[in-house]
Structure 1
Amino acid sequence: MAERLDQPRESRRSFLPRPQADQDAAGRVSESIARFLGTPSFIFWLTIFCIVWLGWNAFGPEDLRFDKAANGFTALTLMLSLQASYAAPLILLAQNRQTDRDRVQAEQDRQRAERNLADTEFLAREMASVRIALNEVATRDFVRSELRNLLEELLAEQAEQADADEPAEPGAERPDGKPARAERKPERRRV
């Protein structure tokens, strides 16, 4: 079978099995250790440990000392270096996980802000359409003034109708000051 050039080669080093670790579990462990390394209680207990180590190896029984002061407490230096060499990567792992969480949180915040902006813009458009619609709606005062005008017109027409129905004497005036029309009597026609 011919090798495909558009795909990478498979790794042929399979003589050592790779350990499979749960990334999330390892991250949680590293974070818990890094959290403890950053606390005052860790500093306190490390100081107590170093004082006991130095006191035992400087003032303890000669035959029970395991780290000689003449050698500059080499074992203590080695222990502290080992602790520091493991602490630094653990702290970096914890920082990387925190950075990932911050990135996810920032993305969620950005999406929430976009939704809020879209909702705000929608509400602003709706408020504008309500304002436009309210400008076209008759207000209570407008309706009252129109009804008042119609009532005045009806009363005026009714008054005119009442004046027209009353028999008027020649030369009499109507209440509005205009001369009254004389009522015409129907004429009889002679046949």
Structure 2
Amino acid sequence: MGVEERESAKERARAAAVSGERARVRLDMPRAPTRRLLPEYDPEAFGRLSERIARFLGTGRFLVWMTVTIIVWVTWNVSAPPPLRFDEYPFIFLTLALSLQASYAAPLILLAQNRQDDRDRVNLEQDRKQNERSIADTEYLAREIAALRLGLGEVATRDWIRSEFEALIKELEERRGGDEPLGRRHRE
């Protein structure tokens, strides 16, 4: 593409942009960054944060601090001088704060449970694959042991050789006429 052709393509793109038409998308050029209305976030970082919060909400420390906060809140709003009270007897603001805390705690706990379920699913899949490998190894070893047993069935043992020698000695003694046992002559 020559210089004139490039300039012509640029002018056509400018004219299309001015007239409101969309310019032809070029695949050899990177897209211009677009602005987003919503902020971007890292789902993993948010998931880790939700797990930390869910773990804290499930501890005795959280229950103690929550109990202390409610006792101080109620005590202050009952016994403080009237101008310093910020939440009178029905404790509407306390109820609202506890409802807000519960409305955020429940989804965070569910998110943490879903992440834990995903981790458990991956661990179960890895365990299943490891079990399959172990079963295959065990079956291979069982076949090898069976082959060794079959092979050993054909190997001469000491007792079998001894019994064969004794049978040969008897046969030789019977052929000689039974004068003297062959075993005694060789021992002396």
Q: Same fold (TM over 0.5)?
A: yes
> 1:126: Cα distance to partner?
0.9
Matching of residue 61 in structure 1 with residue 57 in structure 2: no
Mapping of 1:30-179 within 5 angstroms?
30-69=50-89, 72-151=90-169
Shift of 1:41: 1.7
- Paired with 1:43 and 1:135, the residues of 2 have a C-alpha distance of 71
The whole-number CA distance in structure 2 between the counterparts of 1:37 and 1:16 is: 34
CA distance, structure 1, for counterparts of residue 151 and residue 45 of structure 2: 60
Consecutive unaligned residues of structure 2, counting only runs of 5 or more, are 1-33, 181-188
Alpha-carbon deviations, 1:77-101, whole Å to 9, x = none?
1111110011001100110011011
Distance in 2 between the 1:147 and 1:66 partners? Answer: 110
TM-score normalised by L of structure 1:
0.68
Once residues 85 and 109 of structure 1 are traced to their aligned partners in structure 2, the CA distance between those partners, rounded to angstroms, is: 37
Partner Cα separation in structure 2 for residue 81 and residue 144 of structure 1: 92
Q: CA deviation at 1:19?
A: 2.8
Tell me, in whole angstroms, the C-alpha distance in 1 between the residues paired with 2:144 and 2:35.
Answer: 68
* Shift of residue 153, structure 1, vs aligned partner: 5.7
Aligned-residue offset at 1:151: 5.0
Secondary structure of 1:137's aligned partner? coil
Return the structure number with greater relative CO, CA threshold 8 A, min gap 6: 2
Counterpart secondary structure, 2:96: helix
- Once the 2 structures are TM-superposed, how far is the Cα of residue 152 of structure 1 from its aligned partner? 5.5
**CA shift digits 1:68-119 (9 cap, x unpaired):** 22xx211111111110011001100110011011101111111111111111
How far residue 18 of structure 1 moved from its aligned partner, in angstroms, is 3.9
Scaled by the length of structure 2, what TM-score is found? 0.69
Structure 1 gaps, min length 5 = 1-13, 161-174, 177-191
1:29 aligns with 2:44: no
Mapped partners of 2:140, 2:38: distance in 1: 55
Give the superposition deviation at 1:150. Answer: 4.2
The structure with the greater share of residues assigned to helix is 2
Corresponding residue of 2:10:
none
Which residue of the partner structure matches residue 28 of structure 2?
none
